[in-house]
Amino acid sequence: MTITDIATSRTRTWFRTIAIAEAISWAGLLIAMIFKWVVQADPHSGIQGGVPIMGPIHGGVFVAYVVTCLSVCSKFGWSAKTTALALASSIPPLFTYVFEVLADKRGLLGKSSATS
């Protein structure tokens, strides 16, 4: 394994980790919002559920995902369309995970560790 292969593998692993973390943080924020708006019977109680906690966590992971997409698109040779799709996948809940799985299957994340 060459240094280039190691760097590509690390970049691939980093992108996949951030994509999955973004999907998990989105799910956490949705659950927190459900507790705030649906489960909470008294809207005047001032209870915010987990939104004040999950909101900033998701925001930080979202920014990390966007920065990661922009930094790896040239490393993996993504087209503008693929890059735009990767960025757009951060908007609907859990789609970063879907993008990551499909991109990996199509070889857009470099050589997979399964084929090394």
Give the model's pLDDT for residue 43. 62
Give the sign of the dihedral formed by CA 16, CA 5, CA 103, CA 71: positive
10 pLDDT above the threshold of 70: yes
> Which residue ranges make up each domain of the chain?
3-107
Q: What is the mean pLDDT of residues 43-58?
A: 81
pTM of the model: 0.85
Q: What is the mean pLDDT of residues 84-96?
A: 96
Give the model's pLDDT for residue 2. 83
Higher pLDDT, 85 or 8: 85
Q: What is the DSSP string of 63-109?
A: HHHHHHHHHHTTTTT--HHHHHHHHHTTSSTTHHHHHHHHHHHTTBT
The model's confidence at residue 69, banded by pLDDT at 50, 70 and 90, is: very high
Give the sign of the dihedral formed by CA 22, CA 27, CA 32, CA 34: positive
The percentage of residues in the chain with a pLDDT greater than 70, rounded to a whole number, is 88
- Cα angle value 89/94/100 (rounded, 5°): 60
